[in-house]
Amino acid sequence: MLSAHEQFRQFSPKPICDTSKALEVLLCLQCDSRAEVDDMATKAVAAGATDAETSDYGFMYQRSFIDLDGHGWALNFMSEELPQS
């Protein structure tokens, strides 16, 4: 559930994290293809997110970004094919 700060304060007695100083959450989503990873990450960056890291391990492809609220996201694609050695 996404809430504005005022509403969120009604659910938690703890202070809201300052995401400019600390990472509050890291959300990971599994995608069906490398193209889907790239498409979603490109759209997030176009909407104002900060591109963080791209990793290609052959069997796994990942792009990360930080959203406008300072939350970390990782988009992953895992290939069913084993890497060639």
Q: What is the pLDDT of residue 84?
A: 62
Give domain status of residue 57, yes or no.
yes
34 is a domain residue = yes
What SS3 class is residue 49?
coil
Q: Are 64 and 52 in contact (CB under 8 A)?
A: yes
Cβ 74 vs Cβ 26: under 8 Å:
yes
Between these two residues, 29 and 20, which has the higher pLDDT value? 29
The verdict on residue 74 lying in a domain is: yes
Q: How far apart are CA 22 and CA 70, in angstroms?
A: 9
Segments forming the whole domain that contains residue 48: 26-78
Residue-wise pLDDT for 41-62, tens only, equals 999 999 999 999 999 999 999 9
If pLDDT is split at 50, 70 and 90, which confidence band does 13 have?
confident
pTM above 0.95, yes or no: no
Identify the CATH number of the domain in which residue 71 sits.
3.10.180.10
Count structural domains, the chain.
1
In a domain, residue 21? The reply is: no
* Max Cα distance, the chain (Å): 55
Is residue 37 a part of any domain in this protein?
yes
In a domain, 19, yes or no: no
